[in-house]
Amino acid sequence: MSRLTKISTLSAAVSMALLGMGTALAADGPIKIGVQAPITGEYAAEGQGIENGVRLIAKQHNDAGGILGRQIEVIVCDDEGKAAQAAICGRKLVNDGVIAVIGTYTSGAALAAAPIYSAANVIQTSDGTSDELTQKGWQTFFRNAPPNSDEAEFVANYFVKVKKYPRIAVLSDHSSYATGLAKATVDAIKKEGGSIVGEDFINAGTQDYSAVLTKLKSKNPDVLFFSGYYTDGGLIRAQMKQLGMNAVFVGGDANQNENFAKIAGDAAAGAVIVNVPAPENLPYPAAKKFLADYTKEFGAPPPSIYTLTNADGFRAVIAAIQDTQSTDTGKLIPWLHNLKEPFGGLTGPFTWDDKGERIGSLMSAFEVQADGSYKTIYPRQLDPRQ
C-alpha cells in the first residue's frame, strides 16, 4: 500500500496512460475481478462472506474451463469499511488491472471508491444503499441491494398500515448510510400519516447506549427503528431489555447478520429486521444450490444476504462477458444497463436502470428466534415467480 503514496511523476504519468487504455491491457491472460470489502474490522464477517462468495463462483467457472477460455483471477483489497482505506483500495485495484469490482459493504466506503472506478471505466457492483450513489451520474456503478428509499417505504407501510403503531421512534448513527435511511424512513412514515415521537443519534461503537435509550424511553414509543449496523444494533436491543424498554426493536437491513443474535444474547428473540429475504428463505432453486455449495466449501452458511447480493453482481458481470464475448467494459457497461429481460439472480429477478439502480427487489420483515434463526412475518409468503 505504501508505494501508492510515493509514486514519482513519471510513474504517475505511466499509470494514467495505462488506465486510458482500459481493458485492452487484459486481452490475454486471466480475467481480473476485484473484491473490495471489509475483510478485517468490525464488519469483517460481512466482508469475508463477500470474498468467499466471489471466490466460490470464480472457482466453479474456472473448474469448468473459465470464461472465454480464460481463468478468473480474484484480487481482494480490505477497505475495513472505512472511506480512506476504500479510496486506497480503489486506486490499487484499478492499477492491478481489474475490469470489475464486487463490493463494498458500507455506503461510505462505496462513495469513496466510486469516482476512482468511474474515472477508470471499471465496473463497480455494491450493496451501498445511500441514494447518493446513484445520483452522481457514475455509469460504472450498479447497486446490488434496494436503496434506502425502497426500504423506507416498506418500513413506513409496515409500521403505519400493517402494524398500526401509534408512536414511532427512530434511532441512527452518523454514517452516510444510517442517516440517509433514517431521514428517508421518517419522511415516509410522515407521508403515510404516522407519528414520530422521537429521533436521536448514537456514536457507533460507543458500547453504552443507555443514556439515549432512556431519553427515547421517556417518549413511550411502541416501536424503535434503528437504521445503523448490527454491531451496535445487537447491543441496543440488549440494553433496551435491561432498561425495561418494551418498544418493539426493528432494525434496518444492516442489522441482518448472524452476529446480531450473538451480540444481543437472550434479548435477540423477538427483534425484527427489515431486509430482502434472509438467505435460507429465498425460494429460488439457484439460491438453494448456492447456499449448499457455499456451506460445503466453507463449512458454514453465508453470514447474511449480502453474500448473495454481491454474488449476484458478480454473476451478472460474468453473464455480460459471456453474452458480449468481451471483457471490454465499454461493451459490458451498456449491456448491464440495458438488460433485455430480468437477470435470474440468486436473490430474485432484477434489472438495472440507467443510473445503476436495481429494479426488482423483494423486501420482508423477519423476527429473530431464540436460536438466532429468522421467521418471516411480513409478507408471510414469497412468490418465486416474482
Q: Describe the crossing of helices 329-337 and 306-324 by its angle, rounded to 10 degrees.
A: 120
**Model pLDDT, residue 128:** 87
Percent of the chain with pLDDT over 90: 80
Least confident of 19-33, 152-166, 198-212, 288-302: 19-33
pLDDT at 223 over 50: yes
> Quick one: cell of 326?
468481451
Reported residue count of the chain is 386
DSSP structure class, residue 158: I
d(CA 309, CA 345): 8
Model confidence band, residue 381 (pLDDT cutoffs 50, 70, 90): low
User: Mean per-residue pLDDT for 331-346?
Assistant: 95
Cβ neighbours of residue 371 under 8 Å, at least 6 residues apart? none
pLDDT tens-digit series, residues 35-50: 999 999 999 999 999 9
DSSP three-state, residue 87: helix
**Model pLDDT, residue 254:** 92
Q: Which amino acid is at 54?
A: V
Model confidence band, residue 70 (pLDDT cutoffs 50, 70, 90): very high
Percent of the chain with pLDDT over 70: 91
Return the ∠ at Cα 246 (arms to 243 and 247), rounded to 5°: 115
d(CA 213, CA 224): 10
Rounded to the nearest integer, the mean pLDDT of the chain is: 90
d(CA 318, CA 188): 37
Instruction: Specify whether the CB–CB gap between 276 and 349 falls below 8 A.
Output: no
pLDDT at 145 over 90: no
User: Mean per-residue pLDDT for 73-94?
Assistant: 98
> Quick one: cell of 38?
471489509
pLDDT at 142 over 60: yes
User: Mean per-residue pLDDT for 331-348?
Assistant: 94
Cis bond upstream, residue 379 (ω within 30): yes
pLDDT at 131 over 90: no
Return the ∠ at Cα 46 (arms to 26 and 51), rounded to 5°: 25
204 versus 10: the higher-pLDDT residue is 204
**Model pLDDT, residue 27:** 60
User: Mean per-residue pLDDT for 76-84?
Assistant: 97
Model confidence band, residue 380 (pLDDT cutoffs 50, 70, 90): low
Cβ neighbours of residue 189 under 8 Å, at least 6 residues apart? 155, 156, 159, 160, 168, 170, 196
DSSP three-state, residue 198: strand
pLDDT tens-digit series, residues 263-315: 999 999 999 999 888 788 788 999 999 999 999 999 999 999 999 999 999 99
Other beta carbons within 10 angstroms of residue 359's beta carbon come to: 14
**Model pLDDT, residue 25:** 43
pLDDT tens-digit series, residues 320-331: 999 999 999 999
The burial class, CB within 10 Å (0-12 / 13-18 / 19+), for 377 is middle
d(CA 183, CA 282): 29
**Model pLDDT, residue 280:** 81
pLDDT tens-digit series, residues 169-220: 999 999 988 999 999 999 999 999 999 999 999 999 999 999 999 999 999 9
Q: Specify the residue for cell string 474515472.
A: 119
> Quick one: cell of 197?
415521537
DSSP three-state, residue 274: strand
